[in-house]
Structure 1
Amino acid sequence: MENINHPLFNWIPVNLIEKDNEIYFEWIYLADIKYAEPFFDETITKCKSHDFNSKPFKVISTVDNLIDWSNDLISVELKSFVFHVSRCGSTMLSQSLATSLENVMISEAPIIDQIVRSTLFRADEKSTLLKSVLNLLGQKRFPEQRNLIIKLDAWHIFNADYLRSLFPETPFALLYRNPTEVLKSHQKMMGMHMVPNVLPSIIFGISAKEIDEVSFEQYGALVLEKYFQGFLDFYQTDQNVVMLNYNEGMKGVVEKFTSFINVCYSNEELHKMFERLKKHSKNETAVFSGDLYKEEVLQIDFSRLDILHEKLNNSLVEY
């Protein structure tokens, strides 16, 4: 069976909708557009000008429709989930991997986050639904495609055990970076998860009392502490996980990752990946010349972060 003859070929679910106590999924048509942008949402924005997506109504389905339809399409093999701590080279990694014609690279798809964090489903229903959505996002749309790689949102490290229960054989990658560099990047443009109360603090295991006791700047450090601890906890208990350190160089990160997921890329494909590393992660027309951060000292207590960061580095040595 070939996907190209299926009526749902190039259609994917992109949004969970709750209305009148019912749950629906919004769909969008991809045409021949690949997941090539730095973030999944940017690719979806490019698709919205297509005639199928420009009509005054949304294309929606029920949960049962989605699950049933996902079984009718051929998907490429899921090769890895990439977890990261934010501002640590994860976009550069995903952009590098996206250059390969063999890869289907999904970078922080909101629909995955919607399902993972949803309280609307029974446990078994959520698991089936998540697998179905990944099958649809990873449908084989081009002949060369063989590998599905999912870069998750930073806070999904706290769902790693749940995802492991669903995908026991899938390699997991944990990408991190020096905490000072991470937080200086957020100082330039703060991510929503680093701002108190934008995302529920319970996602990170942060109590209301902890929020009250830290400054605005220190809250970002507290979130990063939780990420680092989440990495350590999972790494120490799982046998199919690799730790990746941005500060050891992104070429080494790409080499270590591709080796770990056991995909044998051609020299041509690897060359394209390495060439992409020379450009800015969010703008491939600009040459990357290194990160430029403000010189002033951050008003942050790094004592706990430094300890956790050292433990992460030590785990790499042990690896």
Structure 2
Amino acid sequence: MRELDANISENEIEELFKKTTAWYGQNRTKEYQKYFIKLDSWHIHFYERLRKWFPETPFYFLSREPNAVVTSHLKRRGIHAIPGYVNSSLLKINLTEQHYQDFNYYTEIVLDNFYKGYLNVLAEHHPLNYFYDYGSGSNEMLYHFYQKILVQNSVPEENLQRLTKHSKDASVIFNGDEKVSYQIKHVDVILNYKLLLEKISSLSCAK
């Protein structure tokens, strides 16, 4: 919102956001029972604001290892993996000429900032925050989500079937990302991901 109006107040932002989510989440049929909001990956940088606005709402965080993410973007690049497409300030990046010369390096920096954001959220130890890494399995992720968020031990078959389709195009059967030989250049990406994975794993062991 501040990209369009630098003078908009924090209270106005909160009011407009909540009005928008309430409009989208209207209970239009008797079948509606839950309201889910899926955020984009860079909204990790808005966590403090969102948690303040929704203190009693469960938040579910997904992570994925950096090589797999970069490989996915090599095949079909998302908008946050293109320098300048998403406002760089929202991604915590100061754009340089190097970013435009090497989109993959830029993607690594974006990822590193995501991992740092995840680590900050984990450090808060909020009881309604739940974490899962794709490396533990996509089917298992759905079961974990249903158990933690919906308090259910089973997953509808149609939801499991959706995992067989490409996340960016449901008409395409997903057979895994094409193997690409790629070497991460920004070492901190790997280090911060490993630290994140250790902390998520320790949460799972504790529970």
Is TM more than 0.5 here?
yes
**Contact persistence 2:79–2:85 (CA under 8 A):** yes
CA distance in 1, matches of 2:119, 2:113: 10
Q: Distance in 2 between matches of 1:284 and 1:213?
A: 34
Higher percent of residues as strand: 1
Q: State how 1:193-232 maps to structure 2 within 5 Å.
A: 193-208=80-95, 211-212=96-97, 215-216=101-102, 217-232=104-119
Distance 1:238-1:118 versus aligned 2 partners, 3 A rule: farther
**How far apart are 1:251 and its partner, in Å?**
1.2
The equivalent position to 1:161 in structure 2, one of 40, 44, 48, is 48
TM-score with structure 2 setting the length: 0.85
Aligned length: 200
- Which amino acid in 2 is paired with 1:246? Y
Kindly state the Cα deviation for residue 125 of structure 1 after the two structures are TM-superposed: 1.5
Q: Verify: 1:314 aligned to 2:198, yes or no.
A: yes
What 5-or-longer segments of structure 1 have no aligned partner? 1-113
Counterparts of 1:117 and 1:165, CA distance in 2: 23
Query: Is 2:162 the counterpart of 1:280?
Result: no
Question: Structure 2: which 5+ residue stretches go unaligned?
Answer: none
The answer to whether the 8 A contact 1:115-1:130 is kept is no
Pick aligned residue for 2:178 from 292, 297, 310: 292
Q: Does 1:303 align with 2:187?
A: yes
Using the alignment, how far apart are the partners of 1:283 and 1:163 within structure 2?
28
Counterparts of 2:30 and 2:3 in 1: how far apart (Å)? 30
**Alignment partners' CA distance in 2, 1:164 and 1:223:** 22
CA 1:194/1:117 → structure 2, altered by over 3 Å: closer, same or farther? farther
Aligned to 1:253: 141
Q: State the identity as a percent.
A: 28
Residue type matched to 2:18 in 1?
A: K
Q: Are positions 1:150 and 2:26 aligned together?
A: no
Question: Which structure would you say has the larger RCO, counting Cα contacts within 8 Å and 6 or more residues apart?
Answer: 2
Aligned CA-pair RMSD: 2.4
TM-score scaled to structure 1, two decimals?
0.57
Q: Is the 8 A contact 2:67 2:182 kept in 1?
A: no
Q: Partner of 2:35: helix, strand, or coil?
A: strand
The letter of the residue matching 2:195 is K
Higher helix share: 2
Aligned match of 2:72: 185
